[in-house]
Amino acid sequence: MPKKDIHPEWNPETPVYCDGQLIMKVGSTKKVLNVDIWSGNHPFYTGSQKIIDTEGRVERFMRKYKMAQRQEEE
């Protein structure tokens, strides 16, 4: 038997907010969750990811592993 009165209260419908907008409801021990990033605005999941090329590092990597040729062939 688990000990009584030592576990935090479980809230099955905790609202999750991002930039002041309600995103979803989840189960949590907190009453409200505020997040900065979630899958709806993260560049990896939205497809708006950009590679910042400083001093030609990305081009040099692509040439080194001949990745530019593979992308053109596909």
Match 């990597």 to its residue by tokens: 61
Q: Tell me the mean pLDDT in the region 9-33.
A: 95
Residue 52 within a domain: yes
Residue 34 within a domain: yes
Confidence of residue 53 (pLDDT cuts 50, 70, 90): low
Torsion sign (Cα): 18, 21, 24, 29:
positive
Range of the domain at 39: 11-73
| pLDDT at residue 54 in the model | 66
Give the largest Cα separation in the chain, rounded: 64
pTM higher than 0.95: no
Residue 68 within a domain: yes
Helices H / strands E in the chain, number of each: 3, 3
Count up the domains in the chain and report the number: 1
Distance CA 37, CA 69 (A): 35
Residue 59 within a domain: yes
